[in-house]
Structure 1
């Protein structure tokens, strides 16, 4: 006979059967399909066995039809465990409330610390954090992620170079590094101006100094353009005036614009795929225990042909210990793939626009593109290859003093 394994959550009891030939009582139970296991004989008139709680009323019917006596020796299982817990319901309620308070205190922000800024700026940051939803007593689960808060602070405070945010238990720590303004020092006199690159002089504005070049002159990188030496010395006079040469140099102020040239090569595909969100989405929420995820909201499939999934995870931490329980939220957004085909003319225009943006990104704000010309254009493997030549107007004054060239 196969030994039955008791189910703890159903609950079972150990009964004692007393009477002549007590094993016959269990034979009657088997005939009426009542599960009985762990039958053991204590004496000629006593037997012990285990039965489920649900079958007790059936055993009592059999006992009334026989001369045997029944008694309960031991009770085990979840029904009896719950019954015992009911006697301590006040203690359990208090324990449950204490656990909720403990979780709230460990998962919320109680202190906000800001380091690296003066008191006035610290007050401004506290006000901004309050507007961002970072408040004392608020659950971290309901706050934005640190990288999102960091991005907002850097956007709202241009004078902040870097900010590090560390939610450490009940502390919300911010370490701020501001952009340090260089100390005002006595500026060394710029006595000479050199060309930053090759070009043809198009405009010159010399406030102080003696120009050595004129408009429409071609200059090379490192060539002296304006000097602070006002007196032009002859070779015979140089030896006599060497000691007074420094006294004859003045500070130079000038802006010199020249026509310069750039070449760039790029490829533009005639066919491209773009992902566009349709606006339809579905949220799903899970509780994660280790590697196991249990869905708690948002059941079923999304039925989106193409979708983009954004995952947000919130973990529980108690002091420095991370609890292996996390709350996951998944946002399934429907996307539509659009296959766009361009003509050669459209590809060329897009390529020129990209080339202009890349060039202007590397120039200062005073520079401008005068002219552009396509030197070579070819079509190969579904792509348009462009070789573009740009003519640019830019300031070629070298900002490095007393050093020729870059």
Structure 2
């Protein structure tokens, strides 16, 4: 019989018949369209064969008054398998429930460990994590990824300089570096303080050493400001000169601003799609249809599913498609010059120490050419110009 495996889905019955005239009875069944196979003789008055479950009613009808005894000895195929599963459904449901519960527990957050933080900072971190939904008992699928948690903690808690976040199994490990760490004492060897750049001195505070310049003096790079050699002649002592020498310095910077600029912005429209990823195959779960946006950017967040200590090749994938639009910004000449000034100030501040101050500025040149505004600005800055220079052995003032 060809393609006999197809009958597995409809059901197969193994039948034993006993009585007289068995061959004639078999021929009667075949003539009436019953499909039978694997016919075997088990004795003078006994035969076995297999037939389709769908032909059972026809078999019973043809057996009436034939004097043949019919016995069903085996049942095979999907209908009987399904029936057996229903009869043992308690075990099946229990096994499936067990696997589901273990999988859920393997993907929950069971611990949060924070190292390197003071108690007050640790309390703030725990509070911030709670706002983000990172808490014991929460499923990892509904929590932001590690990079996002790290970024939010760094931005929202002023007391920390850096925080490393790592997920190991079901526990989040956080390594914290705080800003207000106690400063280690700085032991200096004997030194002078010299000028780091050309300047006019406007203020000075000498903590240790002998000042050799005064306010309003003009100094050149490398010029001695505070000597580390103190005492009377013949009784000189070398010390690490310390202090702050504030001088007025000068900087020149040029900034070029296009009058017309085209850039991409998000307009607030977004569409999310959720899918189950099996290996390299994605099965959509939620959010069907095409993305109708002309221009968009896609952010993908993938959560691996774990079972005990194993990471399964299964993951939940969330794709967020955000629509973008092209915006064109056109400055007037006055607006472009104003923006150029602000950018120049920002550029100067980024290249100066935090305690430096801008005390004056003067536009040297401004021009509009080829739809661009070019501005050159001269800045007056007050900054600490003192730098250490080791004293050579045997040197005296």
Superposition deviation, residue 152 in structure 1: 3.3
Q: Is the counterpart of residue 298 in structure 1 residue 287 in structure 2?
A: yes
Shift of 1:133: 2.5
Q: 2:265 aligns with which of 276, 280, 284?
A: 276
Q: Answer 1 or 2: which has greater strand percent.
A: 2
Matches within 5 A, 1:42-191: 42=40, 48-51=49-52, 53=53, 55-56=54-55, 59-60=58-59, 63=62, 72=72, 74-117=74-117, 122=122, 125-179=125-179, 180-184=181-185
C-alpha distance 140-11 of structure 1, shift in aligned 2 (>3 A):
same
Q: Which residue, out of 365, 378, 382, partners 1:394?
A: 382
Note if 1:307 corresponds to 2:296: yes
- TM-score normalised by L of structure 2: 0.77
1:141: how far off? 1.8
The CA distance in 2 between the partners of 1:342 and 1:171, in whole Å, is 52
Alignment CA distance shift 1:250-1:69 (3 Å): closer
The range that moved more, 151-160 or 80-89, is 151-160
The corresponding residue for 2:11 is 12
2:236 aligned residue: 245
Deviations 1:345-393 (A, max 9, x none): 654544443232122111134321622435475745xx63746243231
- Cα drift, residue 250 of structure 1: 9.6
Superposed CA deviations along residues 204-227 of structure 1, whole A, max 9, x for unmatched, are: 345675442552x54321112344
- Gap change, CA 1:75 and 1:275, over 3 Å in 2: farther
Residues 1:176 and 1:59: Cα distance change in structure 2 (over 3 Å)? farther
Flag structure 2 segments of 5+ consecutive residues without an equivalent.
393-397
* Separation of aligned partners in 2, 1:158 and 1:181: 16
Give the C-alpha shift of residue 260 in structure 1.
1.2
Question: Which residue is 1:235 aligned to?
Answer: none
Shifted more, 127-136 versus 78-87: the winner is 127-136
Which moved further from structure 2: 271-280 or 292-301? Answer: 271-280
Q: Which residue of 2 aligns with 1:263?
A: 253
Structure 1 residue 399, shift from structure 2 partner:
3.9
- 8 Å Cα contact 2:192/2:240 also seen in 1: no
Per-residue deviation, 1:172: 2.5
Match of 2:395 in 1: none
Q: What do you get for the CA RMSD once the two structures are aligned?
A: 3.9
1:223–1:91 distance in 2 versus 1, CA, 3 Å:
same
- What is the CA distance between 1:195 and its match in structure 2? 1.6
3-state SS of paired residue (2:348)? helix
Further displaced range: 313-322 or 363-372: 363-372
Residues in 1 aligned to 2:379 and 2:118: alpha-carbon distance in whole angstroms: 49
CA shift at 1:323, angstroms?
0.9
TM-score, L = length of structure 1: 0.76
CA distance in 2, matches of 1:29, 1:343: 93
Aligned residues: 379
